[in-house]
């Protein structure tokens, strides 16, 4: 099996700063988190941004500051969210692609999201995918439900995206596919040939599905975006969640990938700086 790629999603758009003291809100805090999760074994950071008061923002300026802060402290693969927060316009969600991060998410379908709807119609998906092409950003296909893989195949058939790609299964969102090993296996069986994959279990499912993915040869996403707790009633830090997966993987004979190894596995180019200019990777 390949080394294990751990993605950390340290912020998200749903967690309120009142829920945990460990949410990185400012670019400086994100940079510090990047250093700590890299030391703990992560190779990708999935980025959302907040204003200083903790509210969500998809401002290009704030993402640029976050990108610079992350790059100043780590060689992580930087993956921007284009999902943003419920209520953001597709234009807002895609605007940050002009910063040319190495990767960005492309959610492959609409899904109920608690009492809200996370809207990703075909025109929205096509628009975001086109911007990814324009700015040479590699998509990570976010799959919240089984039909989203069919949507990805449809997008590929019409030429909006290329396949294979790296796919992230987000399981356990209220309104999406439930987080179970059986559902994960069904999704992996249905993957387009050549795709790599990771799983992000929501809440308590994060740990269990990470262990399943380690055993299956997939990759793992953890972080406060998906799960606030280390154990029942005990709040987690992002680096604790990464370190635990790294330890379990080491026991299972799958050392974690460095960002350099992850770039090779995902067939990405060299590390990019915050200006989008290629820079030499330090590893
Ligand atoms: N915050 C969710 C509505 C992504 O980052 O691409 C969407 C999300 C997915 O988090
Ligand atoms: Zn996200």
Specify the pTM.
0.97
Question: How many Å separate Cα 2 from the centre of its chain?
Answer: 19
Q: Which residues surround ligand 2, an ion (CB under 5 A)?
A: 81
Residue 154 is assigned to a structural domain of this protein: yes
Res 283: pLDDT:
34
Distance CA 6, CA 266 (A): 12
Cα angle, residue 70 at apex, residues 64 and 72 outer, rounded to 5°: 100
Res 171: pLDDT:
99
Task: Look up residue 80 and give its two tokens.
Answer: 């921007």
Residue 251 is assigned to a structural domain of this protein: yes
CB contact at 8 A, 9 and 241: no
CB contact at 8 A, 214 and 249: yes
Question: How many Å separate Cα 38 from the centre of its chain?
Answer: 15
Kindly write down the DSSP assignment for every residue of 200-223, as one continuous string: EE-TTHHHHHHHHHHHHT-EEEES
Query: What DSSP state is assigned to residue 258?
Result: P
Mean pLDDT, contiguous 10-residue spans, the chain (283 residues): 98 97 98 99 98 98 98 98 98 98 98 98 98 98 98 98 98 98 98 98 98 98 98 98 98 98 98 67 37
> In total, how many domains does the chain have?
1
Instruction: Return the best residue to mutate from 14, 78, 81 for the ligand 1 pocket (most ligand atoms within 8 A of CB).
Output: 81
Residues of the domain holding 58: 6-280
Distance 170 CA to ligand 1 centre (A): 10
Residue 90 is assigned to a structural domain of this protein: yes
Res 10: pLDDT:
99
CB contact at 8 A, 20 and 11: no
Residue 1 is assigned to a structural domain of this protein: no
CATH number for the domain harbouring residue 250? 3.20.20.70
Nearest protein Cα to ligand 1, atom 8: 83
Q: Name residues contacting ligand 1 (CB within 6 A).
A: 12-13, 81-83, 85-86, 105, 107, 113, 118, 142
Res 276: pLDDT:
53
b/e per residue 183-220 (b: at least 16 CB within 10 A): bbeebbeebeeeebbbbbbbeebbbebbbbbbeeebbb
């Amino acid at each position: 099996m390949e080394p294990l790629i751990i993605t950390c999603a340290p912020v998200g758009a749903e967690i309120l700063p009142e829920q945990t003291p460990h949410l990185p809100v400012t670019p400086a805090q994100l940079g510090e988190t990047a250093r700590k999760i890299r030391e703990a074994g992560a190779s990708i950071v999935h980025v959302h941004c907040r204003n200083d008061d903790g509210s969500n923002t998809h401002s290009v300026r704030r993402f640029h500051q976050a990108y610079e802060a992350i790059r100043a402290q780590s060689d992580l693969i930087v993956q921007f969210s284009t999902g943003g927060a419920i209520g953001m316009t597709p234009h807002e969600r895609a605007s940050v692609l002009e910063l040319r991060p190495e990767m960005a998410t492309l959610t492959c379908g609409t899904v109920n999201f608690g009492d809200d709807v996370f809207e990703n119609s075909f025109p929205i998906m096509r628009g975001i995918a086109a911007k990814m092409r324009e700015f040479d950003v590699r998509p990570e296909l976010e799959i919240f439900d089984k039909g989203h893989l069919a949507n990805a195949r449809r997008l590929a058939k019409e030429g909006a995206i290329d396949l294979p790609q790296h796919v992230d299964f987000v399981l356990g969102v209220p309104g999406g596919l439930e987080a179970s090993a059986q559902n994960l296996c069904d999704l992996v069986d249905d993957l387009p040939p050549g795709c790599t994959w990771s799983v992000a279990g929501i809440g308590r499912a994060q740990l269990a599905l990470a262990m399943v993915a380690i055993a299956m040869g997939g990759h793992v996403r953890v972080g406060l975006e998906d799960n606030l707790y280390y154990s029942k009633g005990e709040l987690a830090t992002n680096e604790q969640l990464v370190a635990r997966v790294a330890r379990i993987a080491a026991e299972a004979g799958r050392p974690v990938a460095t960002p350099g190894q992850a770039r090779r596995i995902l067939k990405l180019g060299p590390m990019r700086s915050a200006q989008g200019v290629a820079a030499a990777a330090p590893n």
